[in-house]
């Protein structure tokens, strides 16, 4: 896969997200869960974001979709398809050209039937969910079913950019593989896919690139083919992740 001539679909430069919090009366405290983050996602490519819990992966996804909490302050620039991704523009693109696969079942309205929350009901079948699921409420779904419903909400359309926030936990390996291959298919069809995951191994199977997030920023951006070789990586945290891969266990590595 050549790096050239790929058209950059999503381009994030110097993204920082600050939270303004008040503690004990009027003492202001500012936290910086995401800082100076750069990331590109090309059309037709699948980029995996890996990183520890709390490293800011979900916030990055929410920033692109314009659904950050109201007390968040975002700086930096985002471009989608060569044009600046302003708040206004996000509002017209999300749900059609940019889709989110959210992190958990709490992202479904508990009092609304599943079918009404998945625009194209036939997408449920793609993930092996029977027609009865359409009439179910989210509380009736098992963990794995909920994952597949969440995946179906995004894949029911033909978006140009899909951001999947940890779509596989709770799924058995074969189902997880199948879910990721659905996302891969979307990339093959020309969409850009941003896959947020903890599972580096699975990510390596389907992604073109691996971006390692550490303390709120992308510290390493490697081709999937290079990632298993710690010596080809620069950042110590990324090297540690690489060494922890099963095929590298021989070298002895740190845990994720």
Partner 1 sequence: MKLNIVMKKALRLVLLLLGVSAAAFFLVSISPIDPLQTNIGQAALGSMTEEQIETLRQYWGVDVPAGERFLYWLSDAVRGDFGTSLLYRRPVMEVIGEKAGYSLGLMTFAWIISGVVGFLLGVISGACKERLPDRFITGGALFLSGTPAFWIALVFLTVFAVELGWFPVGLAVPMGVPADQVTLWDKLYHACLPALTLSVTGISNIALHTREKMVQVMESDYVLFARARGEDPRSVVLRHGLRNVILPAMTLQLGSISEILGGSVLVEQVFSYPGLGQAAVTAGLGGDVPLLLGITILSAILVFAGNLAADLLYSVVDPRMKKGGEPR
Ligand X SMILES: Nc1ncnc2c1ncn2[C@@H]1O[C@H](COP(=O)(O)OP(=O)(O)OP(=O)(O)O)[C@@H](O)[C@H]1O
Contacting positions for Mg ion (CB under 5 A):
58
Instruction: Rule CB under 8 A: say whether 140 interacts with partner 1.
Output: yes
Nearer to ligand X, 114 or 154 (CB): 154
Of ligand X, Mg ion, partner 1, none, which one sits near residue 33, judging by CB under 5 to 8 A according to partner kind?
ligand X
Min CB(131)–partner 1 separation in Å = 16
Residue choice 25, 110, 246, 252 for contact with partner 1 (CB under 8 A): 110
Q: Which residues bind ligand X (CB under 6 A)?
A: 19, 31, 33, 51, 53-59, 69
Residue 67 sits in the site that holds partner 1 (CB under 8 A): yes
Rank residues 45 and 197 by Cβ distance to ligand X and give the closer one: 197
Query: In terms of CB distance, is 42 or 166 closer to ligand X?
Result: 166
Handedness of CA 22, 24, 27, 29 (dihedral sign): negative
Cα–Cα distance, 72 to 31 (Å, whole number): 10
- Report if residue 153 touches partner 1, rule: CB under 8 A: yes
90 with 30: CB under 8 angstroms? no
What does the longest C-alpha to C-alpha distance in the chain come to? 56
* Phi then psi dihedrals of residue 116, to 5 deg: -75, -15
With CB under 8 A as the contact rule, which of the stretches 28-36, 101-109, 176-184, 230-238 interacts with partner 1? 101-109
Q: 88 by DSSP, 3-state: which?
A: helix
Instruction: Give the torsion sign (CA, 229, 177, 179, 34).
Output: negative
The number of C-alpha atoms within 13 Å of 123 and in the hemisphere containing its C-beta is 22
């Amino acid at each position: 896969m050549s790096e050239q001539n790929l058209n950059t679909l999503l381009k994030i430069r110097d993204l920082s997200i600050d939270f303004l919090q008040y503690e004990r009366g009027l003492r202001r405290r500012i936290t910086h869960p995401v800082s100076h983050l750069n990331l590109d996602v090309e059309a037709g490519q699948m980029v995996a974001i890996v990183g520890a819990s709390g490293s800011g992966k979900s916030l990055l996804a929410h920033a692109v979709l314009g659904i950050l909490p109201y007390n968040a302050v975002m700086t930096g620039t985002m471009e989608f398809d060569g044009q600046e991704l302003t708040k206004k523009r996000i509002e017209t693109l999300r749900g059609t050209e940019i889709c989110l696969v959210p992190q958990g079942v709490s992202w479904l309205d508990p009092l609304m039937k599943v079918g009404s929350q998945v625009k194209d009901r036939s997408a449920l079948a793609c993930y092996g969910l029977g027609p009865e699921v359409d009439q179910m409420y989210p509380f009736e779904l098992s963990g794995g079913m909920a994952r597949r419903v969440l995946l179906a909400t995004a894949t029911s359309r033909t978006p140009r950019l899909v951001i999947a926030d940890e779509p596989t936990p709770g799924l058995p390996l074969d189902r997880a593989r199948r879910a990721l291959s659905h996302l891969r298919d979307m990339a093959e069809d020309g969409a850009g896919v941003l896959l947020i995951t903890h599972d580096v191994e699975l990510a390596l199977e389907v992604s073109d690139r691996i971006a390692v997030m550490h303390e709120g920023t992308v510290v390493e951006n490697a081709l999937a083919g290079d990632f298993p070789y710690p010596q080809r990586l620069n950042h110590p945290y990324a090297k540690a992740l690489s060494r922890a891969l099963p095929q590298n266990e021989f070298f002895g590595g740190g845990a994720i």
